[in-house]
Amino acid sequence: MKFQVGKIMFCSECGEKLIAENQKFCHNCGTEVLATSKAT
């Protein structure tokens, strides 16, 4: 799971900033990133 602060995405497991908006796994901890952000 990922969460959004502005346009910066973070891993919900380790809090690492995600490099790519559409990346599938966290580069830091390897947790699968699920697209849960909503367009506002």
Position 22 scores a pLDDT of: 78
Residue type, 18: L
Instruction: Work out the end-to-end distance of the chain between its first and last CA atoms, rounded to an integer number of angstroms.
Output: 18
Query: What is d(CA 30, CA 18) in angstroms, rounded to the nearest whole number?
Result: 11
> 9 near 21, Cβ under 8 Å?
yes
Residue 28 has a pLDDT of 94
| Per-residue confidence (pLDDT) for residue 26, from 0 to 100 | 92
Q: How many angstroms separate the CA atoms of 5 and 30, rounded?
A: 21
- pLDDT value at residue 40: 44
Q: What is the pTM of this model?
A: 0.56
* DSSP category for residue 24: S
Q: What is the largest CA-CA distance in the chain?
A: 28
The structural domains of the chain, with segments of one domain joined by +, span 1-40
pLDDT, one tens digit per residue, over 1-40 is 666 556 778 888 999 998 887 788 999 999 998 755 544 4
